[in-house]
Structure 1
Amino acid sequence: MKKTFLADGSLLFVAFIWGATFVIVQKAIQFLPPHLFNGTRFLLAALLLSLFLKKKTKISFTIESVKSGMFLGFFLFLGYAFQTIGLLYTTSSKAGFITGLSVMIVPLLSVWILKEKPRSIIFSGAIIGAIGLYFLTVGDMSGLNLGDLLVFFCAIAFALHIIFTSKFSKNHDALPLTIVQLLTVSLLSFFSSIIFEQSSISFESFINKDVLIALAITSVFATALAFLIQTKFQQFTTAARVALIFAMEPVFAALTAFIFINERLSGNGLIGCFFIFTAMIVTELPDIRQSKWFNLKQKHGM
């Protein structure tokens, strides 16, 4: 019980860190290309965590842990690539809430990947979330844009990362598993930067104040610390519960955007956020057919 409580509290702290850094990242990628930013950020985080590796400890890299870390890193790369590029075309608040759709996607994909028993309430949540997404994008005055679509793909990638983290974190040490996945994200990001961003790279971009601040904060707190916590504590809870906790990330993102850059959602945008947040909660409600009240009613022929 104590481990579960500690895990939930730690993962909520991770959601706060991620939500609070939306605005910081959005400012930084105006000067430094997204893939190059992510490559640098994740490399710094991996190097930082590597400092905690000691030869005398029992922590070691195995073939299976490296494979698992690379697998997790691939989905993590897709998530951050879609999210960071998406932030070039949409707002921090909208990106935060669309990313939050992963809380609805996780239970849906868990049925297929983790072979969990499907619940009708999950599909109800999917419909509610789709309605919310409509109001948040098409229903918003700004309309549906490329950034919204990219961030939605990011939500799918993050959902897969959460699911497979639950699967692999129980079998491997958290530190090496985290380092491998961060290095994987870094290498894939640098490779993507060479292909897509080479013409827009300049040394002046690295010494920009907003970029340096963003790299310092995100590499230490939002990457090294956050993913080490997730990998360490997710083994003590379920993937669906982790996704629900991470649903607080867009709330923190919107709050941060409002405080620091006075970014406000329209009326339709707020309605969309309400529907999406409702979907996040609904997907974790127990199926009525599994409830004690329903079973008792069936037993007495009511």
Structure 2
Amino acid sequence: MGTATSEYEQASPHAGSSSLSRKLNLAPLLSLVGVTVVWGGTFVVVKDVTLQTSPVDFLAVRFLIATVVLMSLRPRRLANLSRKKLGHGVLLGLMLCGAYIAQTYGQQYTSASISGFITGLAVVITPVLAGVFLRKRIGLTCWCSVVTATIGLAVMSIRDFTVGFGESLTLLCALFLAIHIVALGEWSKTGDAHTLTVIQLGVVGLVCIALGAPDGITLPTTWSFWIPVIGLAVLATSVAYLVQTWAQARLPASAVAVVLTLEPVFAGVFGVVIDNDELTLRIVIGAVLVLSAMYLAEFRPKSTISSP
């Protein structure tokens, strides 16, 4: 049946050389880390912005602005859009929208720390889904990185843990995120990250408008609202998801899930720096464990494993 490579080498078109493979994957890996830095910083901003309008109205305007920005950069790309790629983009957008809505409403019934931990459980669900639906072998090292990342998130987040309505909604968010990561990893390999990103973001914006329409979309007219929203739309949405789509075409889904657990780490860092949160030993230990998990997922020595 030929030769089956490790997860890392499957993600690279040049798996013959481990050193070349590592170099090729370093750029998307670091780009994805950059995305988690941006997303970690948004927690402070979003908390302030959503005090001025409803979460659904905020998500609608954020994602629609991001969609318009990306469309204006390459307006002719959508003209040659295939029905298959359109379908992929719509499905990805619905998954992403489900994750955002479940997390947003779940946060109203649970603490931010518990929400961050449960959302991070996508790192556990992702390799399971990849193994079940894509029949990809998940190695022992990958599972070690998943467990390490989960323990790190737990150390940072958990103080009092009970499973209620908010926790259930947030777990649904983690499930949607895991499905999105796995599907995006497969469908982004066909190229044209720009078009796929535009469709995803547009779907999220349109669904949120539809959900907010019965009560009317109410948006403040102050600069204290619009400046952060525009920044979130351009940097944390259009640019960030474009980079994620590009990076996922070059990295295995399980590694992507581990890297994305850095988001709550950076959220904690920004909380300490900007919001004067206390830097506790729990945060330090949890952050070290998550960083160790990322090392296991991508920077460990790779080897080729032959299948019978």
Place the TM-score, normalised by the shorter chain, in its bin. 0.7 to 0.9
Contact 1:103 1:280 in 2 (8 A): no
d(CA) in 1 for partners of 2:200, 2:119: 20
Note closer, same or farther for the CA distance 1:127–1:10 as it changes in structure 2 (3 Å cut). closer
Q: Distance in 2 between matches of 1:202 and 1:71?
A: 25
Aligned residues: 283
Q: Is the 8 A contact 1:104 1:279 kept in 2?
A: no
Aligned to 1:109: 129
CA distance in 1, matches of 2:37, 2:112: 14
Aligned with 1:63 (options 69, 83, 98)? 83
> Among 188, 205, 211, which residue is 1:169 paired with?
188
Match of residue 259 from structure 1? 273
- Residue identity over aligned pairs, in percent, reads 28
Q: Does 1:76 align with 2:90?
A: no
Q: 5 Å matches for 1:90-109? A: 90-109=110-129
Worse-matched range after superposition: 3-12 or 93-102: 93-102
Change beyond 3 A, Cα 1:58–1:181: closer
Matches within 5 A, 1:68-217: 68-119=88-139, 140-141=159-160, 146-195=165-214, 198=215, 203=218, 205-217=219-231
Distance (Å, rounded) in 2 between the aligned partners of 1:40 and 1:226: 17
Displacement of 1:68: 0.4
What residue number does 1:26 align with? 47
Aligned partner letter, 1:167: E
* 1:88 CA drift (Å): 3.4
Choose which of 221, 237, 250 in structure 2 pairs with 1:223.
237
Structure 1 residues 158 and 279: CA distance shift in structure 2, 3 A: farther
Deviation at 1:251, TM superposition (A): 0.3
Instruction: Name the CA distance, whole Å, in 2 between partners of 1:210 and 1:226.
Output: 22
**If the length of structure 1 is used for normalisation, what is the TM-score?**
0.78
- Deviation, 1:34, is 1.0
CA offsets 1:240-285 (integer angstroms, 9 cap, x no match): 1111211211100111122222334888x75995798499569849
Hey, what's the Cα distance between the residues in 2 that align with 1:112 and 1:67?
Answer: 22
User: Which of 233, 237, 256 is the matching residue for 2:247?
Assistant: 233
CA 281–6 in structure 1, closer or farther in 2 if over 3 Å, else same:
closer
Measured after TM superposition, the shift of residue 125 of structure 1 is 7.2
The gaps in structure 2 that reach 5 residues or longer are 1-19
CA distance in 2, matches of 1:3, 1:119: 21
Cα 1:32/1:39, change in 2 over 3 Å: same
Uncovered stretches (5+) of structure 1, i.e. residues with no partner = 293-302
Give the Cα separation in 1 of the matches to 2:268 and 2:275.
Answer: 10
- Aligned-pair distance for 1:64? 0.9
Distance, in Å, in 1 between the alignment partners of 2:24 and 2:298 is 23
Q: Deviations over 1:71-119 (max 9, x none)?
A: 1001100111122223334444443333222122211111112111255
What is the TM-score with the length of structure 2 in the denominator? 0.77
SS in 1 for 2:190: coil
